[in-house]
Amino acid sequence: MKKKEQATRTRTNLVLAAARNFDRHGYDGTSLAAVCADAGISMGALTFHFRSKAALAAAVADEGVGELQRIRTARPRTGRPLHDLSCLVLAVAATLHRSVHARSAARLIAEGHVVSDWPADWRGEVEELVECAWKSGALTEEVRPGTATRLVRHLVDGVTVDARVTGGQPGPTPPDFAEVWRAALTGLAADPRNSAAGLP
């Protein structure tokens, strides 16, 4: 039992160290030697758990995507699309800010080193909520649903980059993003005076 627990700890440490390195340097800029040094684990221990850098990247992505997918599936469904969109966007943004696994997964997927359903699932969820907001009259007529969807994606992508740049140091935080999102929501809502109703 003790050996199994040790193996689990070693694997967890390797995945975390790999996530930090992939997040900072991308797949091509990360070496297995750097991951071992970061984790304080030998190359032999790494190759025991992961046969290749690709296998390690897949494990990191699984962890990060799992966090993001749980947010998506647990999102509220109140029938108020702008409110539900706000809950989803703010939760995803906060997770990308605090979770190196989630940021690393997003980078590995964007760079094409890992294949995942997450980007399509996330995009589809946002599109659905924006479309519902548009059909219900909650979205201003001056902004097309496709434009609103792109705006949301760009804002959340920005959180990922900001969090990566700060490297866990004091910097952009979810409260800062909430203010940015509030400003964006004011421009999306049919009646800006009621945009606060879209906030959780």
From residue 181, how far is each of 8, 90, 101, 185 by CA, in Å? 39, 8, 23, 6
With H, G, I as helix, E, B as strand and everything else as coil, classify residue 141: coil
Angstrom distance (rounded) from CA 155 to CA 89: 9
Angstrom distance (rounded) from CA 72 to CA 88: 7
Name the nearest CA neighbour of 167 among 10, 21, 44, 55.
Answer: 21
Angstrom distance (rounded) from CA 140 to CA 31: 48
Name the nearest CA neighbour of 155 among 62, 101, 78, 85.
Answer: 85
**Looking up tokens 């140091």, which residue turns up?**
169
Listed in sequence order, the DSSP H helices in 79-173 are 81-98, 100-110, 118-136, 145-166
What is residue 174's predicted lDDT score, i.e. its pLDDT? 60
> Domains of the chain (ranges plus CATH)?
60-198 (1.10.357.10)
For residue 19 the two structure tokens come to 């996530």
200 residues of the chain, pLDDT tens digit each: 587 888 889 999 999 999 999 999 999 999 999 999 999 999 999 999 999 999 999 999 999 999 999 998 888 899 999 999 999 999 999 899 889 999 999 999 999 999 999 999 999 999 999 999 999 998 888 888 999 999 999 998 888 888 877 755 544 456 688 888 888 888 888 765 555 445 55
User: Are 197 and 83 contacting, i.e. CB atoms less than 8 angstroms apart?
Assistant: yes
Question: Is residue 118 exposed (0-12), middle (13-18) or buried (19+ Cβ within 10 Å)?
Answer: buried
Angstrom distance (rounded) from CA 35 to CA 52: 12
